[in-house]
Structure 1
């Protein structure tokens, strides 16, 4: 008797065929899905090799420390904290009174220096003419003094000759007088003849004294003439220093001109200091860390506020050292800014010369011998290539987080 639970054999064959077909289709779909996933994964991996990205990056910019170049009293403050300013906008005014007085003093000093220089320049040709005239006069005086000395010497010779003649005459007259004395006592000659001999002796003696006096006067005249000659020679030597005198006066004129330039420089400095009383914004930016107030006394170099420049911004991206294999300056970069949600174009301009850990305040030093290898990061600078059009409203700020993606293939 046949078992009623056992199906007939033809029916069993049909059922197995119907079951195998869905399994084959599922297997094919699964294999296709796996292949698709592998292909997609390979595609994603291959596409990822075209670029390198990092989220360890931020916007950097210039933080300008606005300070006073001179000491002064704050008269007016034009800005507030977080205020947007343009380059050249007034920020702070210092009291200009002291510096205005300094400018006036410098102008007066310059005028005085110019007057002295003009006088010194005028004296140069005057000294030239006077020294030339003095030299010619001194030469003439020396020549005249020498002639006077020669004349005095001739007069001395003549006086000496007269003295000799007077001495001879005196000797003869005294001898005649001595011979006439015994003769007059014996009445050999008359009293009149003896008186004539006495008079002749006295006259010859007086003539001798006069000749000697003339000789002494001639000697004195020679001494005076020689003194005049010495004085004339001294004046001649002084007059011969004319080139040196002219050079000295010319040097004084140049010194006066240098003093004019010095006074001009002092005036320029005084005007600069007066201009420094008006402090203006050096660039477009936002005022932060404002510490200056009205009626405050500030010193030279004192920091008044910090100006965050919005004109020259760049990206500092810290890439892993393994990401730098195909990275180089000039490669294009797409920068995604978290705060704006926009992408910006850029280009690599610099790759850091050392890792961030080496450039940190306290570089790591392994003195224990226990070493754990850590992937280092290197700072890479990315400059925006079209920031003026991509960020016309200056939405970017230094310190914002960004995600740069560098195309390396």
Structure 2
């Protein structure tokens, strides 16, 4: 009987030491399974309106900066450019005429004082300035028309991945309305949500490790970039009939809030592809303990 008690005591002691050791390790190195892969999403937005004539990308394809994504019917904007070029030629001709008339009047005045009135001389000079201003305005119209023609070809602003593509040839796109989502492949980070009680002595620059649910055996090297300064409140927000929402809770239980921690990735193992929204586990190694 005594041997049984001693054996039980030893087992309990070993289990207690193990639990305490794990607790200490967890307290020194906070860990959460509540993490998500994030990245900047670039909304590809056409600058001009028109039907799509060509689409060069596929859904879930990878593109490089400068790759052509799709083209918009350019004929209308090419016609505007031709019209603007014609206006520029006309404005140049009017400027040349104004300069010639002003030069002639000044030459006559130099040969014979009083042959041209001061009012006429001022009018000729004003005509030159007006023609110059008109030419400058027309040049701006030409530049805008050239830009519109260039905008009919839409290119990738950065390296990334096309996702949820619904654009088709013949579809009408509208200026300043996004039509394609591009995930910036150089902007991935991990958002880990830690209990507020775990973040004491956690600082930017602390080392971290990440494992993805879809790649549980591959450890991603990372480090803490920043810790969120606030989260939205649930109690007190306005609900139905303009009354405050208040969630019921137990007086003897205080649930720790979760604070977002931004973790930047230092190295991604070969064969691991980051995908926005996927689940990640994050462990932080406090610098004070290293």
TM-score range, shorter chain: 0.7 to 0.9
Aligned-residue offset at 1:395? 0.9
Residue 207 (structure 2) aligns with: 332
Classify the secondary structure of the residue corresponding to 1:385: strand
- Offset, 1:136: 4.0
User: Between Structure 1 and Structure 2, which shows a larger proportion of strand residues?
Assistant: 2
In the TM superposition, what are the counterparts of 1:148-187 in structure 2 within 5 Å?
Answer: none
Query: Equivalent residue for 2:198?
Result: 323
Q: TM-score w.r.t. structure 2 length?
A: 0.81
Give the whole-Å Cα distance in 1 for the aligned partners of 2:145 and 2:272. Answer: 38
| Cα deviation 1:113-155 (Å, max 9, x = unaligned) | 2232233334333333334556446xxxxxxxxxxxxxxxxxx
Aligned to 2:222: 346
The answer to which structure has the higher helix fraction is 1
Unpaired runs of 5+ residues, structure 2, are none
Distance 1:369 1:34, change over 3 A: closer
Cα 1:124–1:288 change in 2 (3 A) is same
Aligned ranges for residues 82-101 of structure 1 at < 5 Å? 82-101=60-79
CA distance in 1, matches of 2:166, 2:13: 67
Q: In terms of mean alpha carbon deviation, does 292-301 or 53-62 score higher?
A: 292-301
Q: How many equivalent residue pairs?
A: 279
3-state DSSP class of the match of 1:56? strand
Question: Which residue pairs with 2:182 in the alignment?
Answer: 307
Contact 1:310 1:397 in 2 (8 A): no
Q: For the structure 1 residues 250 and 331, does the alpha-carbon distance in structure 2 shift closer, same or farther, using more than 3 Å as the test?
A: farther
Q: Is the 8 A contact 2:81 2:146 kept in 1?
A: yes
Partner deviation per Cα, 1:284-323 (whole Å, 9 max, x = no partner): 3332332322223332234333223322111111111112
Q: Deviations over 1:42-99 (max 9, x none)?
A: 4433333321111111001122222322111221222232233332222212222222
Contact 1:348 1:382 in 2 (8 A): yes
More moved, 288-297 vs 321-330:
288-297
TM-superposed deviation, 1:26: 8.5
More divergent stretch after superposition (345-354 vs 80-89): 80-89
Q: Specify the alignment match of 1:57 in structure 2.
A: 35
> Which residue among 37, 55, 59 is the counterpart of 1:81?
59
Structure 2 match to 1:377? 258
Counterpart check, 1:402 vs 2:265: no
Report the counterpart of residue 165 of structure 2 in structure 1: 290
Contact 1:81/1:290 (8 A) holds in 2? yes
- Taking structure 1 as reference, are residues 126 and 359 closer, same or farther at Cα in structure 2, changes over 3 Å only? farther
Contact 1:351 1:380 in 2 (8 A): yes
Q: Cα distance 1:36–1:279, how it changes in 2: closer, same or farther (>3 A)?
A: same
Between the aligned partners of 1:336 and 1:311, the Cα distance in structure 2 is: 19
How do 1:63-212 residues align onto structure 2 when only pairs under 5 Å count?
63-132=41-110, 135-136=113-114
Describe how 1:239-278 pairs up with structure 2 within 5 A.
239=117, 242=118, 245-278=120-153
Root mean square deviation of aligned Cα: 3.2
